[in-house]
C-alpha cells in the first residue's frame, strides 16, 4: 500500500536543471555584443543594408536563445514547485497518521458516532463513512446503526429503515417513529421492524395526533423480550375531523395490555397534554416520567389523580413529573391527608412546575429516597415560597427518607424552613441551590464541628445573592479535619464530627469576590464553570460566565490551588 509520495528527487529532473546555461554567460555575451556594436566602423560612416540586416539577425538570434533559456528556467522552477508540493503532501499525510482521530480505536470512534446519533444527528453513519477509510471502517460497526429513526413523512421511509436494519445486524435496536402527517407507510414499516422484535431495546413514538400514536401501538405486536424503555409523545389529543362519542375516552392504548409480554420493560415516559389514566401503566416499571406540556390556554391537573397513578407502581425507583413553563397550568389542591402512597423502592423524585405540584410530597412515604429535586416555574416575586417549605418539611418529617441529595431550583424557601429541613437531613451529602435567598445565618447552621447536615460534602450555589463569600470560606474551613499535630499539642481542640466539604460550585453569586474564590481554592476544589454534560443549566444556558472566567484566568487566579475554570 502506498503510504506517501516519493521523497527522492528524479535523476532526469536534476540533469535537466544542470543543462540550463548559467545566467552569467548570457549577461557576458550581451555585454560583448554591445561593445562590438559600439566599435563598429560602419556607424561612423554610411552603413550598408547588408551590415544592418546582419546585426538585426544576430540580435534576433540572441533573443531566441534568451527566450529558450527563460523557458528552460521556467520549466525548472515549475519542477521545483512540484517537488515542493510533493514534500508538503507527504508532510500532511504523515502528520495525519499521528492525529488523535486516526489513532483512536475503532470501538471508541463507533461510540462517538453513536453519541452523535443519540443527540439527534440521525444521518451520522452516512456522513462519517465519507471522511476517510478508518472512519468508514468504524462506521461499519453494527452498533453505529442501532438507532433507527423513521420519519413517515419521508417517501423513502421504508427503504431507509430496511437499509438501517441490514447494517445493524444483530445489535439491540433503539427505534424512534416520527408520525406527523403522512401515515401511508406506517403499517408496512412497523411490520418490517417486527421481524427484529427480539432486538428492540427502546421504542419512542412521537405523534402529532393521539389516533396515530394508538394506531402505531396497536400494530406493535409482541413479544419483546429485550425491550427496556418505552416513550410516547402526543402533541394534540384530537383533530378537527375526529368524531368523539360522549362515553369515549381520549386515552393511549392500554400499555398493560400492549406490553403484557415484555418482561424487561422498566422505564416509561409519556408526554401529553393530560395525565394518563391510572390503570394503563405497567406494574413492573421502575422509572416513570410524565411531562405535561399543555398547548391549551389553561389546564388543570389533580393531585389525587397523580397519587392514583403512583399507588399501583410499587416497584418504582425513579419518578419525574414535569410541567414546562408556558400557558396557565395548575394543580388542584385537593389534598386528602388520609390518601398516603407508600413507595418502598423509590430512590429519586423530580417535581418541576408551579408550586402546586409540590403539594404531592406530604402524601408520599419513601423510606429509601436518596435524591429529591424541586423546580418551580412560578414567576419570582422577590420572596421565598413558604408553601414549598411547608410541603418539604412535612414530607421529611413524616417520611424520614435517608436523603443524600437535595436540589432546589427557583423553588426558594424561607430561612426558618431551611433550618428545620436541614435538621431532618442527617445523611445529606449534596446540596444544590439555584436562585435562592439562603443567608449567612442559615449557612452558619452548617458550620462544624457540630453543625447540621454532618455528612454534607458538596455544595452547588448559583445565582444566590444573599450571603457573603467570606461566610462560605468560613463554612469550608470550619468543617475541615484537624491535623494530628494540632490534636497532639492543642489540648483544647476538638476533633470535628462533620464531613469535610470536598467541592464547592459558586456561579453568579453576587457577594462572592475573587479573593473568596482564591481562598476556597486553597481549602477545597472550587468550580466556577458548568462542566457536566447533563447539567440542567447547560441546556438552558442560564449559567454562562465566560467573560468572568477569562478575567480570572488573565489575572493568574486560574493557577491557584484547586480552582476549576
**254-288 residue pLDDT tens:** 787 777 778 889 999 999 888 888 788 888 899 99
More confident residue, 258 or 559: 258
**β-strands 563-564, 287-291 pairing:** unpaired
**Counting beta carbons within 10 angstroms of the beta carbon of residue 444, is it exposed (0 to 12), middle (13 to 18) or buried (19 or more)?**
middle
* Distance from C-alpha of 322 to C-alpha of 302, rounded to nearest angstrom: 14
The half-sphere exposure of 93 on its side-chain side, counting CA atoms within 13 A, is 12
Cβ count near 452 (within 10 Å):
21
Q: Phi and psi at residue 304, in whole multiples of 5°? A: -60, -30
pLDDT tens digits, residue range 496-524? 578 999 999 999 898 999 899 989 988 99
Within 8 A by CB and 6+ apart from 91, the residues are: none
Any idea what the Cα angle at residue 254 is, between residues 251 and 259, rounded to 5°? 145
**DSSP class per residue in 490-516:** -TT-----SPP--EEEEES-TT--HHH
* Distance from C-alpha of 116 to C-alpha of 469, rounded to nearest angstrom: 40
What's the pLDDT score for residue 441?
A: 93
Confidence of residue 476 (pLDDT cuts 50, 70, 90): very high
Average pLDDT over residues 199-226: 89
Total domains present in the chain: 1
124-to-121, 164, 175, 345, 409 alpha-carbon distances in Å: 6, 12, 16, 39, 35
**Domain interval for residue 134:** 94-143
Mutual angle of helices 23-38 and 49-97, in 10-degree steps: 160
Within 8 A by CB and 6+ apart from 88, the residues are: none
Q: Per-residue pLDDT for 102 more than 70?
A: yes
Domain for residue 380, yes or no?
A: no
Domain for residue 121, yes or no?
A: yes
Of 436-440, 481-485, 548-552, give the range with the top mean pLDDT: 436-440
Q: What is the 3-state secondary structure (H, E, C) of 166-218?
A: HHHCCCCEEEEEEECCCCCCHHHHHHHHHCCHHHEEEEEEEEEEHHHHHHHHH
Domain for residue 553, yes or no?
A: no
Any idea what the Cα angle at residue 326 is, between residues 322 and 328, rounded to 5°? 95
Domain for residue 373, yes or no?
A: no
What's the pLDDT score for residue 6?
A: 44
Within 8 A by CB and 6+ apart from 383, the residues are: 437
Domain for residue 107, yes or no?
A: yes
Radius of gyration for the alpha carbons in the chain, expressed in angstroms and rounded: 38
Q: Per-residue pLDDT for 11 more than 50?
A: no
To the nearest whole percent, how much of the chain has pLDDT over 90? 36
pLDDT tens digits, residue range 321-367? 988 876 555 555 555 567 889 999 999 999 988 767 888 999 999 99
* Distance from C-alpha of 370 to C-alpha of 237, rounded to nearest angstrom: 36
Domain for residue 126, yes or no?
A: yes
Of 178-187, 378-387, 411-420, give the range with the top mean pLDDT: 411-420
Within 8 A by CB and 6+ apart from 29, the residues are: 62
pTM: 0.77
* Distance from C-alpha of 487 to C-alpha of 539, rounded to nearest angstrom: 47
Question: Do 303 and 334 form a contact (C-beta atoms < 8 A)?
Answer: yes
Domain for residue 83, yes or no?
A: no
What's the pLDDT score for residue 477?
A: 93
Average pLDDT over residues 298-306: 73
Confidence of residue 17 (pLDDT cuts 50, 70, 90): very low
Question: Do 517 and 563 form a contact (C-beta atoms < 8 A)?
Answer: yes
Residue 458 pairs with which residues in a beta bridge?
430, 503
Domain for residue 100, yes or no?
A: yes
Mean residue pLDDT across the chain: 81
What's the pLDDT score for residue 549?
A: 77
Amino acid at each position: 500500500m502506498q503510504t506517501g509520495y516519493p521523497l527522492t528527487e528524479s535523476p532526469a529532473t536534476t540533469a535537466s536543471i544542470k543543462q540550463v546555461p548559467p545566467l552569467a554567460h548570457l549577461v557576458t555575451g550581451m555585454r560583448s555584443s554591445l561593445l562590438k556594436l559600439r566599435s563598429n566602423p560602419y556607424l561612423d560612416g554610411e552603413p550598408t543594408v547588408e551590415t544592418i540586416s546582419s546585426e538585426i539577425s544576430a540580435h534576433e538570434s540572441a533573443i531566441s536563445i534568451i527566450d529558450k533559456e527563460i523557458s528552460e528556467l521556467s520549466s525548472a522552477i515549475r519542477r521545483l514547485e512540484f517537488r515542493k508540493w510533493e514534500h508538503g503532501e507527504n508532510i500532511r499525510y504523515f502528520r495525519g497518521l499521528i492525529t488523535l482521530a486516526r489513532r483512536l480505536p475503532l470501538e471508541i470512534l463507533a461510540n462517538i458516532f453513536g453519541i452523535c446519533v443519540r443527540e439527534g444527528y440521525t444521518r451520522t453513519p452516512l456522513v462519517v463513512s465519507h471522511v476517510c477509510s478508518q472512519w468508514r471502517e468504524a462506521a461499519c460497526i453494527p452498533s453505529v446503526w442501532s438507532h433507527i429513526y423513521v420519519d413517515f413523512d419521508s417517501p423513502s421511509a421504508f427503504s431507509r429503515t430496511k437499509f438501517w436494519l441490514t447494517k445493524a445486524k444483530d445489535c439491540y435496536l433503539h427505534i424512534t417513529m416520527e408520525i406527523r402527517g403522512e401515515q401511508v407507510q406506517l403499517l408496512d414499516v412497523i411490520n418490517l421492524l417486527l421481524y427484529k422484535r427480539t432486538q428492540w431495546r427502546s421504542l419512542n413514538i412521537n405523534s402529532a395526533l393521539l389516533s396515530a400514536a394508538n394506531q402505531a401501538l396497536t400494530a406493535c405486536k409482541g413479544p419483546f423480550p429485550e425491550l427496556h424503555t418505552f416513550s410516547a409523545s402526543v402533541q394534540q389529543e384530537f383533530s378537527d375531523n375526529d368524531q368523539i362519542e360522549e362515553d369515549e375516552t381520549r386515552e393511549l392504548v392500554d400499555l398493560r395490555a400492549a406490553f403484557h409480554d415484555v418482561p424487561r420493560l422498566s422505564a416509561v415516559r409519556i408526554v401529553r397534554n393530560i395525565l394518563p389514566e391510572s390503570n394503563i401503566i405497567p406494574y413492573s416499571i421502575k422509572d416513570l416520567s410524565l411531562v405535561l406540556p399543555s398547548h391549551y390556554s389553561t389546564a388543570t391537573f389533580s393531585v389525587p389523580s397523580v397519587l392514583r397513578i403512583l399507588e399501583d407502581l410499587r416497584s418504582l425507583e425513579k419518578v419525574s413529573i414535569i410541567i414546562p413553563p408556558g400557558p396557565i397550568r395548575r394543580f388542584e389542591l385537593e389534598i386528602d391527608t388520609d390518601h398516603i402512597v407508600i413507595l418502598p423502592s423509590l430512590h429519586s423524585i423530580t417535581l418541576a412546575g408551579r408550586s402546586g405540584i409540590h403539594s404531592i410530597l406530604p402524601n408520599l412515604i419513601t423510606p429509601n429516597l436518596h435524591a429529591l429535586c424541586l423546580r418551580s416555574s412560578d414567576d419570582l416575586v422577590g420572596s421565598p415560597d413558604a408553601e414549598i417549605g411547608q410541603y418539604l418539611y412535612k414530607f421529611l418529617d413524616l417520611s424520614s427518607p435517608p436523603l443524600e441529595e437535595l436540589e432546589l431550583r427557583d423553588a426558594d424557601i424561607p430561612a426558618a424552613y431551611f433550618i428545620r429541613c436541614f435538621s431532618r437531613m442527617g445523611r445529606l451529602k449534596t446540596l444544590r441551590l439555584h436562585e435562592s435567598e439562603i443567608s449567612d445565618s442559615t449557612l452558619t447552621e452548617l458550620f462544624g464541628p457540630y453543625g447540621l447536615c454532618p455528612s454534607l460534602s458538596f455544595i452547588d450555589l448559583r445565582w444566590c445573592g444573599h450571603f457573603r463569600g467570606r461566610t462560605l470560606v468560613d463554612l469550608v474551613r470550619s468543617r475541615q479535619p484537624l491535623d494530628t499535630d494540632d490534636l497532639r499539642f492543642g489540648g483544647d481542640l476538638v476533633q470535628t464530627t462533620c464531613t469535610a466539604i470536598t467541592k464547592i460550585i459558586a456561579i453568579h453569586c453576587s457577594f462572592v469576590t475573587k479573593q473568596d474564590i482564591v481562598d476556597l481554592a486553597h481549602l477545597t476544589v472550587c468550580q466556577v464553570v458548568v462542566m457536566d454534560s447533563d447539567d440542567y443549566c447547560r441546556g438552558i444556558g442560564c449559567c454562562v460566565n465566560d467573560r468572568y472566567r477569562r478575567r480570572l484566568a488573565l489575572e493568574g487566579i486560574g493557577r491557584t490551588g484547586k480552582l476549576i475554570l
